[in-house]
Amino acid sequence: MDNIHPIFDRLLQREDREKLLNQKAKVLWLTGLSGSGKSTIAQALERELFNKGFFAQVLDGDNIRSGINSNLGFSIEDRKENIRRIAEIAKLYLNSGIITINSFISPTRDIRTFAKSIVGEDDFIEIYINTPIEICEARDVKGLYRKARNGEIKGFTGIDSPYENPIQPALEIRTENQDVQESVNNILNYILPIIKTN
């Protein structure tokens, strides 16, 4: 007898899950200095997307560095392994139809190219949270710049470890003269047409 439900004959695909969730999955990769506003924007964006009926998940230091990557430090090799695992996790979410908002400094072009190669070029949306270091340092949300200046932290991005700005990000957000809501709206304007199904 012919199977009237041919979908049961094959493994579920990402497209099936996206259809269920009524969205197109993407990886939103926020990069920028410590204190540039990545986490604040990521969390506000996650909330806005949720309110609009999208299924999105922030990946950040709190849920990645403290858990699956708790054995990694901040050497060049460990930063690369950190990003490799994050990109692999984002890809699992992607294949589950879920939008991830990745909030990590990801300081070098090399490291972001690496992440993009794991996720896949078509699904990787690089968003540069561009805030001058003077402003990040003045904000000093976690007191880390002060510690880095005192030499209590070594290899701090922007102080004694490089940050390479993205050359052609999909989107650049300048937070110095805008509030969080404006920054979030700028990202929404860009991504909504991409993640909507109709």
Cα–Cα distance, 102 to 104 (Å, whole number): 6
How many angstroms separate the Cα of 37 from the Cα of each of 5, 13, 60, 137? Answer: 48, 35, 12, 12
For residue 57, state whether it binds ligand ADP (rule: CB under 6 A): no
- Contact by Cβ (8 Å): 129, 138: no
Among 23, 31, 34, 100, interactor with ligand ADP by CB under 6 A = 34
106 is catalytic: yes
E runs forming strands in the chain: 27-31, 56-60, 99-103, 124-130, 171-174
39 binds ligand ADP (CB under 6 A): yes
38 binds ligand ADP (CB under 6 A): yes
Catalytic hit among 34, 36, 103, 106 = 106
Q: Which of 23, 57, 102, 183 binds ligand ADP (CB under 6 A)?
A: 183
Residue nearest to ligand ADP (CB): 37
**Residue 106 makes contact with ligand ADP by CB under 6 A:** no
Question: Considering the rule CB under 6 A, would residue 108 count as an interface residue with ligand ADP?
Answer: no
Which residues are catalytically annotated?
106
Residue ranges that bind ligand ADP, judged by CB under 6 A: 32, 34-41, 103, 139, 141, 175, 178-180, 183
